[in-house]
Structure 1
């Protein structure tokens, strides 16, 4: 029976691997394969984790944002329920052919979204007392330690349960708070690398597939799209695609938004206003966005707006304000590493979702 480990290191842009010494990640990249690939746009956690674990784009699996607005009612909710998924996960498919499975996440929200088909499921944010007793006290979700605790739990799970297929996903708090050259970034990445090395030594026959959901960029300009449109006499509902419960990570500031208008006759006028504003890189009508980025059309806004590399969208006191935040969401955070080790699969991996798409389970 194959033994498979899929790891998503949240926010792991290439610069983090370039700056920090990572002998174990370097080893598996050299002995296996390393590709500079692409994540899914919008470059946010839920969209990309589901793309990776299903091996499919959003037009198939249905997760198009961290936060969803019902186009018929205008009411919104977090896209955290597995009821939103329209495609089976690799854990479900593995279980259907008799393989044992496990899911480990740092964020509780991802555990709830992804654990269908998991024989064993653990969130480092809210772990069980038995695991705490074996590993040590749980760590704050807004810390680097949460991911190191998660990798210790992963090591323990592989030793005690030895599941055939494991999906493990971290959180990106450290990347939001620290640039790649800062000491805390080094400590975080080196800690993950060290624990991964121990896992590899204890599980030499396990296939390892490592990637990221997105990268991270420093942002200096904030644009309030709702205020901008209102200044032109256009009322709209503007939803930050990055929006989730973990506001301390990013203050719900991200490089992409959906604009809901409710009136089709306003689309062209709104498009013209947004396309003419400095800092807005691209604006796509719903159907065009769905086709270009493989999104599910009835789960996105009337317009899909992407910012320049230094731009975030959010609610501000003016149309444009200076900001200082590290975040993601735009096309500029979509470049990710794709690493395979001990893989039985061959092929040219181009996207993070290709890892599961080509597992043939």
Structure 2
């Protein structure tokens, strides 16, 4: 056994030999060997678990998919062997009727959701992040693939000491193509035929909520919601717990997360409904059910039995920390802020309104009127240039 394999065994990573992969495909994440060795878990979700692993002498992340989500492997295959610096590379896919395995690159870094929850990002870094995600989306769209689940939980901040930019030591990588969709190349490449889609409801475009034809503009909408969240540091529609209400208001009344007055009204009115709202959930498991609510055919409140939680890399640094919450906060804040330090300037403060105008241009209800990726990139770069010139 070479030294690399020994080092990964020491950190409780799974060495993915062929017999080991066959065993995992048979037994899944509840494999006795995984539980007994306490292999390091990078992330959890209702559809699977992500582990540290080594494959062909390279550090990787292994996602074990449960059988009820095996169909998502077909979507993940859209990005198989893509090689782009802003996309988490999917190296290999394997499946049986019981379980599926996704082997992907593993970078040293943080989930963007964790960063947003921990500290306020300076404008300069928000611009870097959005430009990286935009580059990933343009690569996807150039290959006729829609991601359809753009959100902070699916963006990895990978630490990169070799980054050419002197103002940052990280790059952003888009991950989780489980909701992605291949555009129909036999028809107009700007649209798909009407289809049932999955994604995180609070980031989904109006056309996705209606199960209407989708386009690259659908990803731009989700990116606009993400840009707002990077600025506000709040989940979209954070005052509302009922996803059906959110879907109806987004489609019928053009509700957006920055309409705080309307969100307050809806929050107050929900306190007086006969049926209590659902606990907070983030994903649509069936778009047809949402559509029936939006179209007032059969509105009902008990639509979701279980929320889908997206896998992410929030816990990608060491084992579960058993220190006190106070100690964790004291150690975590400086660790993250070190990578996102920026001296605020008067000019940067005045550019916040320009940043806000951009994300509002991404979430216009009419898909054809939204800001496209080329114009968004140009305007982001212009704001970034002004930030860096101070």
TM-score, normalising length from structure 1? 0.25
User: Whose helix fraction is larger, Structure 1's or Structure 2's?
Assistant: 2
User: Whose strand fraction is larger, Structure 1's or Structure 2's?
Assistant: 1
